[in-house]
Amino acid sequence: MSEYLTLRRPDDWHLHLRDGEMLTAVAPASARLGRAIIMPNLVPPVVTGAEAEAYRGRIRAALPDGATLRPLMTLYLTETTDPADVVAAHSAGIIAAVKLYPAGATTNSASGVRDFDRVRPVLEAMAEAGIPLCLHGEVTDPQVDIFDREAVFIDRVLDPVRRATPGLRVVLEHVTTSDGVDYVRANEGIGATITTHHLVINRNAILAGGIRPHYYCLPVAKRESHRLALVEAATSGDPRFFSGTDSAPHPDSAKESACGCAGCFTAPNWLPIVAQVFQDEGALDRLEGFVSLNGPAFYGMPPNEDRITLRRRDRAAAFPTHITAGGETVTVFDPGFPLHWHVEDDA
C-alpha cells in the first residue's frame, strides 16, 4: 500500500555546508532543497559581505547540475562587524540574515560575541533594515550546567537584547527546551528553528548504554519532556516554528574521539524522518507548514512555487550509513526507526 503527500518544495532554515572537500561531498545531499540559510562558521568565519558572496560562489560551484538549492547567506557577527557592511550586503541581496554565536558556545565560535553591548550598533542597524538575527541561544558561562545553558541564555541574553533593540526580528536557532518554546510563544517578532535530530532523540540517546558521539550536538539534546515540547511545537501548526536541520557534518575521526565535536549530519534523510514524526503525531497535514511555509513567511519571502511528492511505501528507504569526504567518512544520522517515506522528486 502506498500513500502520497505533495508539498511545496521544502527549505532548510539552518544548514552547515562547510567548505572545500567537505562542501563538495555534502552539497549533493542538499541540492534538491528550495532554499537554505547557510551558516557562516567556517575557519576563518564568513564575516563580511564580500566573504559571503565568495562563499556563495563556492557553494553554487559545488552543486550538481539540476540543483534547485538557492543558498541564502549569513554573516558571522563579531564585535568588530561594521553595521554599514551588513546593511549593504543585505541590500545587495547577498545575505538574508546575521548569525550570532556567543564566543566559545560551539564549533568554530571563538570569534563570536563576548560583550553584547559591543554589537548593539549592528543590531540597531539590522532592526532598522529588517535583517533577521539568527541566535545560537546558549550561555558559555562555565558555571552554568550544559543542560541549562539555553534556559539561562533566554533570561540573561535573549530577553535583554530584544528589549534593548525593539523591532529586531530574531530566530532562536535549534531550540531544544520547553523554556525556549514558551518564550517564542509569549513574545512578538521571534521565531525558532527546530532540528530533525532534536525531534527524535533525547539525552539518553547520547549517554545511556555507552557514549554515542554521533548523537552529540549543540545545544545538547535535553530530557524527554523537552523533546515532547519540541514535537508539540513543530506539529502544532504555529507558524513561528519551522524546520532548520542544523545538519552539521564532521569527519568521523573528529566525532569518535576523546573530545568529540558537536554535530549531527542529517542532510541525506531529514525529510523522511520529519515526515515520520508528523505521521506519528497524526499531523501530516501540518508537515508542509513546518518544512515549506512557516520559514519563508517568517523571513518575509514567498514559499517555493514548485512541489515535491513524498510516498509512503511498505519498504523502508535505504540511506547510506556514511558518505566519504576527502578520504574521511562522515556518518549519516540514524534516527533509530525505519523510514517509510520516500522523496519522489522528479521536477
The residues assigned a catalytic role are: 246
CB 213 within 8 A of CB 256: yes
Nearer to Zn ion, 7 or 47 (CB): 47
The yes or no reply on residue 246 touching Zn ion (CB under 5 A) is: yes
Write the binding mask 25 to 54 for ligand DOR: x where contact by CB under 6 A, - elsewhere.
----------------x-------------
Residue from the set 30, 48, 74, 107 that interacts with ligand DOR by CB under 6 A: 107
Is 171 a binder of ligand DOR (CB under 6 A)? no
DSSP codes joined into one string, 280-323? HTT-GGGHHIIIIIHHHHHHT-PPPSSEEEEEE-SSPPP--SEE
Q: In the structure grid, which three cell numbers stand for residue 233, read together? A: 511545537
3-state secondary structure of 344: strand
Torsion of CA 271, 275, 278, 280, to 10 degrees: -130
3-state helix, strand, coil in the chain (%, to 5): 40, 20, 45
Binding ligand DOR (rule: CB under 6 A), the pick from 73, 95, 97, 248 is 248
Decide: is 238 part of the binding site for Zn ion (CB under 5 A). no
Q: How many chain residues touch ligand DOR (CB under 6 A)?
A: 11
Q: Does 138 bind Zn ion (CB under 5 A)?
A: no
242 within 8 A of 318, measured Cβ to Cβ? no
Task: Give which of Zn ion, ligand DOR, none residue 107 binds (C-beta under 5 to 8 Å, depending on kind).
Answer: ligand DOR
Residue from 48, 78, 81, 106 in contact with ligand DOR (CB under 6 A):
106
> Please, which residues bridge with residue 134 across strands?
99, 171
CA distance 2 to 317: 13
Asked if 195 touches ligand DOR (CB under 6 A), the answer is no
Number of residues counted as binding Zn ion (CB under 5 A): 1
Binding residues for Zn ion (CB under 5 A)? 246
Q: Which residues bind ligand DOR (CB under 6 A)?
A: 16, 41, 106-107, 136, 217-218, 246, 248, 262-263
